[in-house]
């Protein structure tokens, strides 16, 4: 199975901050990396797919980059509604599809 290492596991930030979350995979997965946001008690929401494509309706302050084994989710200016947990997930080749451990963004 493809291994996912997401960091940090949590971070403290303030409104307006630029935030970056990283995800490393083993082995390489080309650009088959997706990012989700989950708020407490809610279902996850797809933010970014194929490493850098913004899902419809997602604010442009969210962006994704990377390929191969190293990927980054960046929030350019953190808003109050962005405090949540973020997960990376690989969709390379056939299942099993695997997720990172999650990054909790808190005040």
Partner 1 sequence: EVQLVESGGGLVKPGGSLRLSCAASGFTFSSYSMNWLRQAPGKGLEWVSSMSSSSTYIYYADSVKGRFTISRDNAKNSLYLQMNSLRVEDTAVYYCARSDIGGVFAYWGQGTLVTVSS
Contact flag: residue 49 with partner 1 (CB under 8 A): yes
Under rule CB under 8 A, which residues in 73-92 are in contact with partner 1? 87, 89-92
Among 44, 65, 68, 74, binds partner 1 (CB under 8 A): 44
Neighbours of 22 (CB within 10 A): 17
Distance, in Å, from the CA atom of 41 to the CA atom of 13, rounded to the nearest integer, reads: 22
Distance, in Å, from the CA atom of 16 to the CA atom of 3, rounded to the nearest integer, reads: 32
Among 24, 31, 45, 69, binds partner 1 (CB under 8 A): 45
Contact flag: residue 22 with partner 1 (CB under 8 A): no
Q: Tokens 């997960």 map to which residue? A: 87
Distance, in Å, from the CA atom of 77 to the CA atom of 51, rounded to the nearest integer, reads: 20
Cβ 98 vs Cβ 107: under 8 Å:
no
Among 14, 27, 80, 94, binds partner 1 (CB under 8 A): 94
Positions in the binding site for partner 1 (CB under 8 A): 32, 34, 36, 38, 42-46, 49-50, 55, 87, 89-92, 94-102
């Amino acid at each position: 199975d493809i291994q996912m290492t997401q960091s940090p596991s949590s971070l403290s930030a303030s409104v307006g901050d630029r935030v970056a979350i990283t995800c490393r995979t083993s082995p390489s997965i080309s650009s088959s990396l997706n990012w989700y946001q989950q708020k407490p008690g809610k279902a996850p929401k797809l933010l970014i797919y194929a490493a850098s494509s913004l899902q419809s309706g997602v604010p442009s302050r969210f962006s994704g980059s990377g390929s191969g084994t190293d990927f980054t989710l960046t929030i350019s200016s953190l808003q109050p509604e962005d405090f949540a947990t973020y997960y990376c997930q690989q969709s390379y080749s056939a299942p099993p599809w695997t997720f990172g451990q999650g990054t909790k963004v808190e005040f």
